[in-house]
Structure 1
Amino acid sequence: MCKLNAPKFGLSCGILWGLAVLILGLSATYANYGTAVIELLSSVYVGLDITLVGAIVGGIWGFLDGLIGGFIFAWLYNKLI
């Protein structure tokens, strides 16, 4: 089986999740779509709100969360195979 490159996998997860939270925050801000999800995520990500600045802060938190979670997942996967 192939091993995963943990730093690259973490970076790709961070970019993907950070952009997802940013886009969702922007859609909640400007299109009033997904506000319930933003309210749910704001209980975890400090500073995430239905504003432009809140969407950017949420995107940064999402990036960091995805980066750490993806790295841990790939590292653990490599240890178990």
Structure 2
Amino acid sequence: MKLSVKGLAITAAIIWGAALLFMGGANMMFPGYGSTFLEVMGSVYPGYQPGTGLSSVIIGSLYGAVDAGIGGAIFAWLYNYFAE
């Protein structure tokens, strides 16, 4: 059974991007919520600085979505390669 490279890439991008957007939004509504997680994500994704505004949360979420999409595609490709 093979994995769909495109399907896994899109799914990973949507889930991870939404998770970063949700956490950033929750932190803006409830300061301090998930602050340790958001500090780590801010060090990984440039421009992702939760608590400074909605634009930085959206930019960081887009970076995260692209990162997860690439990671999902590589994972599916490697799985298909070694599953043969």
Q: Same fold (TM over 0.5)?
A: yes
RMSD: 0.8
CA contact (8 A) 1:18 1:63 kept: yes
Query: In the comparison of the two structures, how many residue pairs are matched?
Result: 80
1:11 pairs with 2:10: yes
Q: 1:72 aligns with which of 71, 74, 77?
A: 74
Q: Is the 8 A contact 1:22 1:56 kept in 2?
A: yes
Aligned AA (1:49): Q
Q: Which sections of structure 1, spanning at least 5 residues, go unmatched?
A: none
Distance in 1 separating the partners of 2:44 and 2:14? 18
Cα offset for 1:53? 1.1
**1:46 counterpart residue number:** 46
One-letter code aligned to 2:63? W
Structure 1's consecutive aligned runs of 4 or more residues displaced over 2 angstroms after TM superposition are none
Tell me the TM-score normalised to structure 1 length. Answer: 0.93
Q: Does the aligned pair in 2 maintain the 1:47–1:54 contact within 8 Å? A: yes
Q: TM-score, normalised by structure 2?
A: 0.90
Over the matched positions of the two proteins, sequence identity in percent amounts to 38
CA distance in 2, matches of 1:54, 1:30: 15
Gap runs ≥5 in structure 2: none
Aligned partners of 1:25 and 1:54 also within 8 Å = no
